[in-house]
């Protein structure tokens, strides 16, 4: 009982100590709130009432009176940019830069944020000018990355190469893969304008930068074909196997057409069959199937598809199998078989996609640079269903 009595007597003591602590916290909160400029609450009220332009004006007045609130401007500008209200974000950062008494560190920060606003708005000329002024500042690495993005958007590949090299030399990581792709873009432009020799010069630089660049080997073949040298083109396309066997599917049709052009189609079929045995691919099977059908007939084509379906059971393969069976089916069963084929084909169209390893963006065609996230070489050369079966 004595212990319980003392315990009961202690309750008021602890209650009093808690009350004193709460009063101290409340007084401190009241003191801090009174120290805030009145314009802060005015601007906050405008924001809550969805009047952002008036809120900006109110916060600008705060900064004029109290330089300590500069961070509030940065937070406000970033908020507008994330919400897609780019004009308001630009206005916030431009007003900061207009202040003659703005500290140098805050001025550089404001320039960087303004450059981000211009980039988000698609005002690439203004963004480029802004970031060029920041390459020697503490935001140098970020500015160079932004410039690299700008040059890629504008397809200024020479300047993109220079920007990537500058980033690499600054210690921001290796950029050989991107630089090689920029040379391939330049080569592609030369081929479009029927300048195969100029394209070959660019592709030599691409391979000197990145020996594993598959695209360069493919384009070298295209350049030789444009020069009329089909044998040299075939040799170039066959080098893809040495770099990446799965990527052979991307050059299979070129190889088959080339061997037909030089009068050795059976050699082409045998080569592609060998590639198919090494790396199963629905795209490669498509090319081989058509060639076998042309050269060896329906039975051989059917056997090819049947063997491949057993080795790699996919709906894409089943679609091709049904196509082969439809060719030799008796007339009385063709309507039913055709119906099944159409149903399977309709579903496989959703599976016949390439998928970016970086962002997951799916596309019907193969891309060297992902349209979704702009990463280079992020697409595997196989369709999504094939990858799922392999995994």
pLDDT by residue, tens only, the chain of 391 residues: 444 554 444 445 445 445 444 444 444 433 444 444 554 545 555 555 566 666 666 665 555 545 556 777 777 778 778 878 889 888 888 888 887 878 888 889 989 999 999 999 999 999 999 999 999 889 988 999 999 999 999 999 999 999 999 988 888 788 999 999 999 999 999 999 999 999 999 999 999 999 999 999 999 999 999 999 999 999 999 999 999 988 999 999 999 999 999 999 999 999 999 998 888 788 888 888 889 888 988 888 888 877 877 777 766 667 766 777 677 767 776 777 677 667 766 666 666 788 899 998 988 889 999 999 999 999 988 877 666 555 5
Binding positions for Fe cation:
356, 359, 370, 373
Domain count, the chain: 1
Tokens of 269: 């079929």
Taking the C-alpha atoms of residue 302 and residue 169, their distance in angstroms, rounded to an integer, is 56
* Alpha-carbon radius of gyration of the chain: 33
SS3 (DSSP) at 355: strand
Q: Looking at the DSSP assignment, which residues form a beta bridge with residue 381? A: none
Phi, psi of 226 (to 5 degrees): -65, -30
Phi, psi of 54 (to 5 degrees): -65, -35
Tokens of 331: 């007339």
Is 124 inside any structural domain? Answer: no
Pair 212, 241: CB distance under 8 Å: no
Is 368 inside any structural domain? Answer: yes
Cβ neighbours for 370, distance < 8 A, ≥ 6 positions apart: 356, 358, 359, 361, 376, 378, 379
Is 370 inside any structural domain? Answer: yes
Is 388 inside any structural domain? Answer: yes
Is 5 inside any structural domain? Answer: no
Is 363 inside any structural domain? Answer: yes
Neighbour count for residue 48 (Cβ, 10 Å): 9
- Residue 237 vs residues 186, 248, 253, 274, 280: alpha-carbon distances, Å: 19, 8, 10, 15, 18
Pair 146, 119: CB distance under 8 Å: yes
Q: Are strands 362-363 and 354-355 parallel, antiparallel or unpaired?
A: antiparallel
Is 375 inside any structural domain? Answer: yes
Binding positions:
356, 359, 370, 373
Pick the closest to residue 212 from 247, 250, 185 (CA basis).
247
Is 384 inside any structural domain? Answer: yes
- Residue 339 vs residues 316, 326, 330, 332: alpha-carbon distances, Å: 16, 11, 15, 13
Q: Which domain holds residue 377?
A: 354-391
Q: Give the H or E element holding residue 213.
A: none
What DSSP state is assigned to residue 369? Answer: B
Q: Give the H or E element holding residue 362.
A: strand 362-363
């Amino acid at each position: 009982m004595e212990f319980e009595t003392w315990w009961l007597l202690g309750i008021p003591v602890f209650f009093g100590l808690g009350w004193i602590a709460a009063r101290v916290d409340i007084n401190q909160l009241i003191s801090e709130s009174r120290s805030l400029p009145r314009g802060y609450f005015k601007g906050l009220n405008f924001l809550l009432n969805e009047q952002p332009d008036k809120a900006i004006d109110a916060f600008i007045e705060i900064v004029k009176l109290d330089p300590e609130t500069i961070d509030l401007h940065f937070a406000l500008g970033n908020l507008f940019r994330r919400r897609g209200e780019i004009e308001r974000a630009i206005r916030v950062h431009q007003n900061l830069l207009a202040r003659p008494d703005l500290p140098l560190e805050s001025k550089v920060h404001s320039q960087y944020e303004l450059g981000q606003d211009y980039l988000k708005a698609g005002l690439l000329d203004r963004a480029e000018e802004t970031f060029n002024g920041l390459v020697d500042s503490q935001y140098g690495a970020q500015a160079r990355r932004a410039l690299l993005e700008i040059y890629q958007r504008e397809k200024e590949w020479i300047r993109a190469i220079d920007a990537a090299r500058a980033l690499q030399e600054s210690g921001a990581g290796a950029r050989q893969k991107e630089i090689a792709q920029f040379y391939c873009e330049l080569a592609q432009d030369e081929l479009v304008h029927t300048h195969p020799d100029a394209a070959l010069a660019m592709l030599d630089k691409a391979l000197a930068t990145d020996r594993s660049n598959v695209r360069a080997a493919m384009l070298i073949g295209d350049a030789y074909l444009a020069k009329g040298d089909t044998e040299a083109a075939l040799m170039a396309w066959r080098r893809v196997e040495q770099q990446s066997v799965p990527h052979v599917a991307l050059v299979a049709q070129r190889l088959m057409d080339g061997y037909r052009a030089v009068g050795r189609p059976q050699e082409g079929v045998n080569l592609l069959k060998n590639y198919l045995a090494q790396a199963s691919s629905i795209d490669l099977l498509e090319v081989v199937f058509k060639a076998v059908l042309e050269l060896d007939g329906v039975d051989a084509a059917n056997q090819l598809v049947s063997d491949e379906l057993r080795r790699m059971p996919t709906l894409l393969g089943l679609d091709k199998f049904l196509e082969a069976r439809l060719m030799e089916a008796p007339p009385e069963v063709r309507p039913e078989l055709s119906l099944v084929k159409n149903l399977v084909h309709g579903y496989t169209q959703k599976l016949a996609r390439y998928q970016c390893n970086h962002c997951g963006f799916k596309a019907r065609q193969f891309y060297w640079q992902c349209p979704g996230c702009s990463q280079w070489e992020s697409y595997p050369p196989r369709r999504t269903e094939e990858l799922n079966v392999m995994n």
